[in-house]
Chains A and B, each alone.
Chain A
Amino acid sequence: MFKQALIASTMFLTFNALAQSEVPITGNVASKCVITTDTPGVYGQPTTNVLSTNPQDGGVTPIVRYDIIEADAYKAQISYPNAFTSSPVLNDVVNWAGAVEVSEVSNSEMAAFETNKIEWDNVTEFDLTLAGSVWFKIDSIADYGYEKSFPGGIYRASVLAECIAK
């Protein structure tokens, strides 16, 4: 009798411990776009009148990653700089150039983003028709006056990465 009670109580305790170990986990996957700075950009100076993010010019190409949870919900618009956000006083015109390209994708079908991109002014638009992650690299070149040397100092410029719901 005592043994039966002991076995029963042991079974109850074991069952109770098992019941208490069941921790519910809930999650909510919602449509969203996440913009991540993957690699910060740095200007190199191949010649005295040029600042460039091209690695061959001593720069570092900025890379931004977009994480897309739901396909066909967003479009990306990325603008390369067309002005410095801060710089020494400049007395001549700065000529800006740049380009935005898909550099890596998590799904090979995303290569179509590059094929179908639309460009105007300093803006490049990509239709994010597939879910996953895509990395964009942004080239930026600033050319000062007519072969004039940039004055010494710190130069800062900004890339605008946008994710716009469709």
Chain B
Amino acid sequence: MVLLSGYASAHEWTPTYPKLEYSFLNNIMVTKMNLYNNRKDVEYYEVSVYDKDWIPIKFSVGEGKIVHVSYLERKSVDVYIRKKDERRVVYVCSQSKSRVGEKGVTFLSSRICSKIK
């Protein structure tokens, strides 16, 4: 009766202070983030966006809000936000996800949040 697993492994989400820029779409802003997965036990990360009170804000990511990043892979993630939400957006986060029922399920869920300034 026991459990839990993990490895000496890391999660990076940069830059710390990203900026919103105009995208190629009307009334849509974009911020370019970089995700680096050095966790053998994790393949998926969920992107989320919040205002200053941690209320979720609608956004879109090209390949979906759950991003697949292989071990030791570095991926550029474009986060699209509506122009009308430009002033509300504060936190852009990524959080590691584990698969239900997967052998050696992650004991540590890591979340890193960058801040729009």
- A residues bordering B, Cβ < 8 Å? 30-45, 51, 62, 64, 67, 70, 73-74, 85-86, 150, 152-166
Q: Cβ of B26 < 8 Å from any Cβ of A?
A: no
Q: Cβ of B108 < 8 Å from any Cβ of A?
A: yes
Question: Contacting B112 at CB < 8 Å: which of A30, A150, A154, A163?
Answer: A163
Structural contact, A36 and B105, CB atoms closer than 8 A: no
Within 8 A of A (CB), among B51-109: 91, 98, 100-101, 105-109
Give the distance in Å from the alpha carbon of A153 to the alpha carbon of B110 in the complex: 26
Structural contact, B9 and A36, CB atoms closer than 8 A: yes
Structural contact, B113 and A158, CB atoms closer than 8 A: no
Instruction: Please give, as numbers and ranges, the residues of chain B lying within 8 Å of A154 by CB-CB distance.
Output: 1-3
Structural contact, B4 and A45, CB atoms closer than 8 A: no
Question: Contacting B105 at CB < 8 Å: which of A30, A85, A152, A153?
Answer: A85
Structural contact, B107 and A161, CB atoms closer than 8 A: no
Do A165 and B108 contact each other (CB < 8 Å), given the known contacts A36-B9, A42-B4, A45-B1? Answer: no
Give the distance in Å from the alpha carbon of A158 to the alpha carbon of B105 in the complex: 9
SS of A interface (majority): strand
Rounded to whole Å, the gap between the CB of B112 and the closest CB of chain A is 5
Instruction: Please give, as numbers and ranges, the residues of chain A lying within 8 Å of B6 by CB-CB distance.
Output: 37, 39-41, 62
Question: Contacting A43 at CB < 8 Å: which of B4, B12, B41?
Answer: B4
Structural contact, A30 and B111, CB atoms closer than 8 A: no
Q: Cβ of B25 < 8 Å from any Cβ of A?
A: no
Instruction: Please give, as numbers and ranges, the residues of chain A lying within 8 Å of B38 by CB-CB distance.
Output: 36
16 intermolecular pairs with C-beta atoms under 8 Å apart: A32-B14, A32-B16, A34-B12, A35-B110, A36-B9, A37-B41, A42-B3, A62-B107, A70-B16, A86-B101, A150-B1, A158-B107, A158-B109, A159-B107, A163-B110, A165-B91
Structural contact, B8 and A30, CB atoms closer than 8 A: no
Do A45 and B111 contact each other (CB < 8 Å), given the known contacts A37-B8, A73-B16? Answer: no
Closest residue of A by beta carbon distance from B18: A165
Structural contact, B3 and A160, CB atoms closer than 8 A: no
Closest residue of B by beta carbon distance from A152: B1
Instruction: Please give, as numbers and ranges, the residues of chain B lying within 8 Å of A155 by CB-CB distance.
Output: 1-3
- 4 smallest CB-CB distances across A and B, nearest first, come from A40-B6, A165-B115, A36-B10, A35-B110
Give the distance in Å from the alpha carbon of A35 to the alpha carbon of B8 in the complex: 10
Structural contact, B11 and A34, CB atoms closer than 8 A: yes
Give the distance in Å from the alpha carbon of A69 to the alpha carbon of B91 in the complex: 19
Besides the contacts A37-B6, A85-B98, A162-B110, what 13 more A-B pairs have beta carbons closer than 8 Å? A30-B15, A36-B8, A38-B8, A41-B108, A42-B4, A86-B100, A150-B1, A158-B106, A158-B107, A158-B108, A158-B109, A165-B17, A165-B114
